[in-house]
Amino acid sequence: MSLRVDTNTGLIAPARQVPSPNCDARPDGAQADLIVIHGISLPPGEFGGPWIDALFTNTLDPVAHPYFQAIHPLRVSSHLLIRRDGELVQYVPLHRRAWHAGASSFCGRERCNDFSIGIELEGSDDQPYAPTQYQVLGAVIAALRSAYPSLAAGQIAGHSDIAPGRKTDPGPCFNWPHLYALLDAEQKTRLV
């Protein structure tokens, strides 16, 4: 998959653009040096449908499903979403702060939204992610690392790593070794 990151606009192509109002400027001098992997399904355990877009754009209908009653007031977002079929969706420009991490800490640094890029995978803790999602995720991370020097040597963490006890995603079914193998292969390809 060939991806292009425009560092002036913070947009990645060919992602489908669904702008979220749930973002703001990063603090002065802050740059992203962490990628946070999330898992999301709405309603829980169900895939497809318009609900993730609706949540991130504050248009979630609280009567469409009982679970939505509790979450529709939330003001959250992520930079990117990779759907089960591999579709890439962008909600927040990469240079802006998305509201994906919540109360969080990584290597002693609080407020991970300030210095991270959030990538949601449509999935759940107890089901394997689709092979195409790993392929797209690997391509996205490679494109981000190529476009932003601060991410080149940066780390990758799960939401559960930065908010332990509060969050469990991307869950035990996420195949970290497979992702790292894809990234190693991508790096070797770029060096040739």
> Long-range CB contacts (< 8 A, 24+ apart) of 46-53?
47/83, 47/84, 47/122, 47/123, 48/83, 48/84, 52/81, 52/89, 52/120, 52/122, 53/18, 53/89
How many C-beta atoms lie closer than 10 Å to residue 2's C-beta? 7
Has 120 been annotated as catalytic?
yes
Query: 115, 29 in Cβ contact below 8 A?
Result: no
Phi, psi angles (nearest 5°) of residue 159: -55, -35
- Give me the catalytic one of 87, 110, 120, 186: 120
From 124, 140, 142, 138, select the one nearest 177 (Cα to Cα): 138
Catalytic residue ranges: 120
